Amino acid sequence: MPFDPELFLKLGGALTTVAEREHREEISRTAVGRLYYAVHLRARENLVATGWVVPQVSQHWAVIDELFARRNPQAGLVKALKRLRTTADYYLDESVTEKDARWASRVAYSLWSKI
């Protein structure tokens, strides 16, 4: 059975709750990553269902570009979520707080039924 990306959404939400309670940056960073990947995978699979072909390279930006090309009103939020995920994963000199995780969680849950 294929993996359900909604499990990443739920995990990201649960991690956000822990990050808010414990004020631990590593949990906030991990929550942001899982929340972004949930949205990315959902958007990708929904695009594929309409006949879109997943490119072999730069898949993340390709999904966002396709959402913009289709004038999806949620494309900007997906892009912002991806940028925060990039910060969380690669820019260790920049803080990612529980506030960031909370924002990512709100955005990801709001996008889930719209993307």
pTM over 0.85: yes
What would you measure as the largest C-alpha separation in the chain, in angstroms?
A: 44
Q: What is the pLDDT along the chain (115 residues), one digit of tens a residue?
A: 799 999 999 999 999 999 999 999 999 999 999 999 999 999 999 999 999 999 988 899 999 999 999 999 999 999 999 999 999 999 999 999 999 999 999 999 999 999 9
What secondary structure, in 3-state letters, does the chain show?
CCCCCHHHHHHHHHHHHHHHHHCCHHHHHHHHHHHHHHHHHHHHHHHHHCCCCCCCCCHHHHHHHHHHHCCCCCHHHHHHHHHHHHHHHHCCCCCCCHHHHHHHHHHHHHHHCCC
**The domain at 6-112 falls in which architecture?**
Up-down Bundle (1.20)
